[in-house]
């Protein structure tokens, strides 16, 4: 069911790899709610994924851009404004990658060059998205930036490795740039801390299946799906949330504020 929440709005959605991606779901929902937008991803991710299929469904142009490259981001904004016929109203940052996680390096044995890559791709790219947008004046007043985060930014999850540090940095950038952009252009900046979600990236983390089940039993509402997350992102793009900024918003079925659940206690007692 469409509510027309984004009617007339323009945007940029990054990070859609395949139909399991949260960004993919956001694009479909944004189209349904009346938005026009461009899609972007790194060239290598575009070769691995199915973004052109999504572009056809959404009648959207795909613009390749390395999110760590200021030059590529300048091109992304310039081309997007040309294609869309003006400044944009929303940007989704759905980008994260850790070479250390991919290659099985433990937190006490990190490759520091890879660690810096994790930070650059997963966190500093969000700052670059906003700094470039501000400099080229690409965002309308009351625009909205949203990035996807995870609770490992606040709590220790050993399997999440250096991505936890990257997410903590991401959330800090959202607060600092959120203040700056609100004062300058009334643009709001938020992160969403999502439940464990079986995306292509998420399932690549060791022990994902076990933790997915654990989180589902801990959360009184269960894990939030990618579709649920897309709905939440749309509200943050819409005018309904004009006064929400600099926040990390937990979208996790209540996991983040539950000490222990009855389901988990029953499971422990059964196995005792």
95 labelled binding-site residue: yes
Residue 8 in marked binding region: no
260 assigned binding-site residue: no
Per the listing, tokens 């945007």 go with 11
Do the Cβ atoms of 37 and 27 come closer than 8 Å? yes
Active site residues: 150, 160
Residue numbering of the annotated binding site for NAD(+): 15, 21-22, 95, 167
């Amino acid at each position: 069911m469409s509510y027309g929440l984004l009617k007339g709005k323009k945007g940029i959605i990054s990070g859609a790899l395949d139909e399991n991606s949260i960004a993919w779901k956001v694009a479909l929902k944004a189209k349904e709610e009346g938005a026009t937008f461009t899609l972007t991803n790194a060239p290598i991710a575009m070769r691995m994924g199915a973004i052109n299929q999504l572009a056809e469904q959404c009648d959207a142009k795909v613009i390749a851009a390395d999110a760590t490259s200021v030059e590529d981001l300048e091109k992304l904004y310039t081309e997007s404004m040309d294609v869309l016929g003006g400044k944009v109203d929303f940007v989704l940052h759905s980008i994260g990658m850790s070479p250390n996680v991919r290659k099985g390096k433990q937190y006490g044995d990190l490759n520091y060059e890879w660690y810096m890559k994790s930070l650059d791709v997963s966190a500093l790219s969000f700052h670059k998205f906003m700094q470039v947008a501000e400099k080229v004046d690409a965002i309308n007043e009351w625009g909205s930036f949203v990035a996807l985060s995870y609770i490992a930014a606040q709590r220790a999850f050993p399997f999440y490795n250096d991505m936890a540090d990257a997410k903590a940095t991401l959330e800090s950038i959202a607060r600092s740039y959120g203040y700056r952009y609100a004062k300058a252009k009334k643009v709001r900046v938020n992160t969403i801390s999502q439940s464990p979600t079986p995306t292509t990236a998420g399932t690549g983390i060791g022990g994902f299946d076990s933790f997915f089940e654990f989180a589902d039993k801990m959360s009184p509402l269960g894990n939030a799906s990618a579709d649920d997350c897309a709905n939440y992102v749309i509200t943050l793009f819409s005018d309904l949330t004009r006064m929400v900024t600099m926040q990390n918003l937990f979208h996790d079925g209540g996991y983040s504020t539950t000490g222990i659940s009855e389901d988990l206690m029953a499971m422990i007692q059964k196995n005792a």
